[in-house]
Amino acid sequence: MEKLLDRLITVIGDEARLFEEFLEALERQQKALIGNDTKELNKITAELQMIVGRSQRLENERSQVVEDIRREGGAGEDVNITEICDMADSARSVQLKNLRETILGLYDHIEETRMRNGLLVDQSLEQIHHTLETIGRIPAQKETYQKHGSVPREYAPLGIDRRI
């Protein structure tokens, strides 16, 4: 059982480090969004996708270790971290509880940063939409050449493809 608990601690520790990487990438993404740095945004997006892939692998590994602990410890169908901490000795239990708190804290920061980034993207899209509407309202003269003051100015709306 100790080996399984140690393996779980290792996997959860790896997940915590991965969450830190994810948070750092989101913070860099935020700076790139503010700075309108599309190259950096593309680079960070690819990095985030790689982190998500690694996270899914770690989640599968953690699920397998938890299942092994459940079977070996004789726990019920839905075992949680509190029950696993009860199965562990005090040192491992403290480690697991600390990792749990670390991950929950990181998750809160990730969610907050992700929401801010989403708002920045939404604001950017609103600005683009507003700019396109403004450009669409610029009048275009029907007649290019006219005598000064003799021909009334008639305007036709400028046609713009507004699809994004």
Question: Are 65 and 84 spatial neighbours (Cβ–Cβ below 8 Å)?
Answer: no
Q: What are phi and psi of 133, to 5 degrees?
A: -65, -40
Residue 102 resides in a domain = yes
Any domain includes 163: no
Q: Is the pTM of this model over 0.85?
A: no
Per-residue confidence (pLDDT) for residue 28, from 0 to 100: 94
- Write out the residue range of the structural domain in which residue 97 sits: 2-157
Per-residue pLDDT, 51: 95
pLDDT value at position 49? Answer: 94
Position 139, amino acid: P
* Mean pLDDT (10-residue bins), the chain, 164 residues: 88 94 94 90 94 94 88 74 78 89 93 92 84 72 56 52 56
Is 164 part of a structural domain of the chain?
no
Does some domain include residue 73?
A: yes
- Domain for residue 69, yes or no? yes
CATH number at residue 32: 1.20.58.300
For the chain, the domain total comes to 1
